[in-house]
Structure 1
Amino acid sequence: MEKDILEGLTKVFREKGYEGASLTDLAEVTGLKKASLYHRFPKGKQGMAEAVLRNVNNWVQENVFSVLQDETLPAEDRLKNALCQISVLYTGGKQTCIYRALSMQAGLDLFAEQINGGMQSWITNFKKVGLALNFQEDVAYEHALQTLIEIQGALVTARNMKDSNIFRQSLQKIENRYLNRI
């Protein structure tokens, strides 16, 4: 049930952002009464958003970063597998990134540290795969930073243009850039 609650909260925050998500929306999607939500999340909506961030960050750690760090696989396979998992995370570009959803208006002040830490983890882990592909340290960092920028930008663009091909093409370009196919 906890998983269902977090998935419901994530859905609302992704769709409406922190400011736009009402307690009524959050209660409705979880099937809980507002009092039950406050019992589970004593910090209210902020606590719910923090739980969502932790849950998404844990999923990314288990399904993306652990793949990028798996030295039993060739670096090329790690990269390809991680990009596939990123596609799963964002439903092929149809989902809003939770960082974006929670970094608007008041959410930016409330969650800046967690979002920054999460983004730094993306850069760190993609840099490691770049190093494993024998890139110089500065090139590995630039590729990693560009990967984060491209994923975020492609998500916004794909959603606004209602064209998930934009996201898929961006993931392919990231793979090509890392594997020197561009």
Structure 2
Amino acid sequence: MQFSDKASLRQQILSQRPQSSEGLFANLVRIAMEFEAKAIASYAPLNTEPDVSDFNDWVLATGRTLCLPRIIGAEIEFAIGQTEPGAFSIPEPVGDAIDPSAIDLIMVPALAVDAQGNRLGKGKGYYDRALTSISCPKFAVIFDSEYFENLPHEDHDQAVDGAISPSAINYFARPEIL
């Protein structure tokens, strides 16, 4: 399935959310273990997004560093600590910011991803800007129905190295990372 209009694709995907996140936790843990990640950037899920809450709890319970995004102006930075409602009423950490080079693995929320690693976000570009300065493995977190053969993308869109859904882990060609 190909789409040329990002806005209509976003609307279609959002109309099919939420879906089951059953199985997602195991796949997220598998990737974290595979990359031996000690500092993991994740996100505080909205009720329409794939639920990474149990994974975030696991990161903390196993002594790893959990970094969550917070919005500063037009940018995202990753930080640690307790959360409070922030921009768009999304929980954001109130602790210290983390240098992006200290992050070993990042779980990126996405509406969809394609077989080339093109990620469709919500359209504001926060993650595209943030991912330019992060060199660790980047995995889009999606529901099972949100993996496509091709998605529309633009030059500023940042590709991911893989996609994780409740039933699958997909890797894309980035030999320097994988």
Q: TM-score by structure 2 length?
A: 0.27
User: Looking at CA atoms only, which structure, 1 or 2, has the larger radius of gyration?
Assistant: 1
- More helix by proportion, 1 or 2? 1
